[in-house]
Amino acid sequence: MSEPQPVLVAHGGNLHEAAERYGIAWEAWIDLSTGINPHGYPVPPVPSSAWRRLPDEGDGFAACAARYYGAPDARHVLPVAGSQAAIRALPALLPRARVAIAPLTYGEYAPAFAQAGHEIAPLDITRDTLPDALTHAVVVNPNNPTAAHFDAGRLLHWHAQLAARGGTLIVDEAFADAFGPQHAETLAHATDREGLVVLRSPGKFFGLAGARCGFALARPALLHALRARLGAWTVSGPARHAVTHAFEDGAWQRAMRERLAAESARLVALLRAHGFAPHATPLFAWIADPRAAALQDALARHAVWTRRFDAPASLRFGLPACDDEWRRFEDALAQAMRAID
């Protein structure tokens, strides 16, 4: 019997596909299809030693991340090659069982768990008590793309139920940094508890997605198993250099959170002016509308690329990168709305 093949999930950022489909040069597009900060952290020059030497796990990188995220200590933090690496590897480390995942959330979780032999069930986020049949659950907080938030008390309540069954709660906090590294909803501080995994990523808020760096926060035994599965040197020296500086630059973080809050408010106001009811985080806004496919197409004809979802029909908008992009987006949206009405 042949091995099951991994399921490939469509993501934002597929701008070359859009450029080819619409016959518009790649350089002409405004890419709003991702939730990555367009004002990325200004990484200082990388020392030549970071290119010559293999990454050194004794460099204090995990401890730096533990301080930034508020984890118990460095033993509870494992740097990984983007949280995607952990998402694909973790399901094989957990007992095969039924795992609850929200119907509309980050699309990599369901195929990763299915490939590892788990049964996927929908997560009803309105319930205080999880069904007895569930052993594991995945929550993205804030959720991507719906921007739904879960308070820490509810998540810890869910965790206690799953842990009592020998299960695990995975909380993906990829977009949490825009609210502060240790904001009230994060569970990073609680990762000394059995059956709790928190995934964090500097790629979104810091605009460092290309560094391919993320962190798994959990009890040391699980992280040791994850490290063994992923192998050595999962995060490059230059990436460690960039992320360390970003984590230690509190002044940049504070200024950027203020900027993103203002730009998010501008995006929400623009969408509301066209009759939408957006849900937003500081890095993206999401609208559910039956005209989503037509609106994405109409915007694309003006070289504005967005991320579309089908169930429900909806669009996610990232932030324009500069004043010129804002003006172009506002004009394109006005013309697109006239075209679909």
pLDDT at position 183: 76
Structural domain that includes position 334: 15-40+251-340
Q: Are 130 and 163 in contact (CB under 8 A)?
A: no
pLDDT tens readout for residues 162-194:
999 999 999 999 999 999 776 779 999 999 999
pLDDT band with cut points at 50, 70 and 90 for residue 11: low
Rounded to whole angstroms, the Cα distance separating 32 from 160 reads 38
Indicate if 261 and 244 belong to the same structural domain: no
pLDDT band with cut points at 50, 70 and 90 for residue 13: low
pLDDT at position 235: 97
The domain that holds 312 is classified in CATH as: 3.90.1150.10
pLDDT at position 330: 98
pLDDT at position 3: 44
pLDDT tens readout for residues 308-325:
999 899 999 999 999 999
pLDDT tens readout for residues 89-106:
999 999 999 999 999 999
pLDDT band with cut points at 50, 70 and 90 for residue 75: very high
| 9, pLDDT greater than 80 | no
Indicate if 224 and 292 belong to the same structural domain: no
pLDDT at position 12: 64
pLDDT at position 341: 86
pLDDT at position 93: 98
Query: What mean pLDDT is predicted for residues 48-71?
Result: 94
Indicate if 277 and 157 belong to the same structural domain: no
**What is the share, in percent, of the chain residues with pLDDT greater than 70?**
96
Q: Token pair for residue 2?
A: 């042949």
Indicate if 233 and 281 belong to the same structural domain: no
Q: Are 230 and 109 in contact (CB under 8 A)?
A: no
pLDDT at position 1: 36
| 5, pLDDT greater than 50 | no
Q: Are 308 and 314 in contact (CB under 8 A)?
A: yes
Q: Is residue 46 part of a domain?
A: no
Helix axes 15-22, 292-300, angle to 10 degrees: 80
The residue from 222, 248, 274 where one domain ends is: 248
Indicate if 199 and 323 belong to the same structural domain: no
Q: How far is CA 28 from CA 16, 191, 308, in A?
A: 11, 44, 20
**To the nearest whole number, what is the mean pLDDT of the chain?**
94
The domain that holds 73 is classified in CATH as: 3.40.640.10
Rounded to whole angstroms, the Cα distance separating 120 from 136 reads 10
| 4, pLDDT greater than 60 | no
Indicate if 137 and 82 belong to the same structural domain: yes
pLDDT tens readout for residues 294-313:
999 999 999 999 999 998 99
| 10, pLDDT greater than 80 | no
pLDDT band with cut points at 50, 70 and 90 for residue 135: very high
| 76, pLDDT greater than 50 | yes
The residue from 214, 248, 282 where one domain ends is: 248
The pTM of the full predicted model, rounded to 2 decimals, is 0.94
Instruction: Quote the number of domains for the chain.
Output: 2
Q: Is residue 45 part of a domain?
A: no
Indicate if 270 and 281 belong to the same structural domain: yes
